[in-house]
Amino acid sequence: MSELLKMGRAVLDAQPFSVYMHAELAALEPGRAELMLDLGTNFLQQNGFAHGGVIGYLADNSLTFAGGSVLGPNVLTESYSLTYLSPGVGDRLVARAEVVHHSRRRAVCRCDVFSVEEGDESLCATALGSIIAVDS
């Protein structure tokens, strides 16, 4: 496991809400992050689909990790725009974020969130966000 991924997982484990969401950092490389979680019963809305708040959590946090992969560990999401594309159904959700452009203090990242059902992925949301470095 790379040092970057190890550090990323330590940050995720230090976020009580990410522990509460059972999120897992599957990959972290310079400019790229992949965050996932199992779509347990707690994460659904009234029609049995993934709740938007779960998708939003994954999108936001994967954007932050992608930004942090180029800006360093002290970052936060400043803003993001998210569009839902199709209902999130299946066993798990995977968010894949990448840096589009960055300066020393700010990274603009995009992210796609997929639902996975028996190995088949389906795009359920896409997002665009700005991550900024903060003084430690």
What residue ranges bind a second copy (CB under 8 A)?
11, 14-21, 41-46, 51-54, 56-57, 60-61, 64, 76-86, 100-101, 108, 110, 112, 123, 126-128, 130
Q: Which two tokens stand for residue 120?
A: 């088949």
CB of 6 to a second copy, least distance (A): 16
Smallest distance from the beta carbon of 119 to a second copy, in angstroms?
20
Which amino acid makes up residue 30?
P
- Which runs of consecutive H residues, i.e. helices, occur in 1-136? 3-13, 16-20, 52-71
In angstroms, rounded to a whole number, what is the distance separating the alpha carbons of residues 17 and 82?
20
The nearer residue to a second copy, 26 or 128, going by C-beta atoms, is 128
Reading the block at residue 45, the tokens are: 């809305």
CB 129 to a second copy: min, Å: 9
Look at the alpha carbons of 121, 38, 83, 70 in this order and tell me if their dihedral is positive or negative: negative
Minimum CB distance to a second copy, residue 58 (Å) = 8
Report helix, strand or coil for 45: coil
Nearer to a second copy, 27 or 47 (CB): 47
Which is closer to a second copy, CB of 26 or CB of 82? Answer: 82
Q: Kindly tell me which of 6 and 76 has the beta carbon lying closer to a second copy.
A: 76
Would you say 32 and 98 are in contact if contact means Cβ atoms under 8 Å apart?
yes
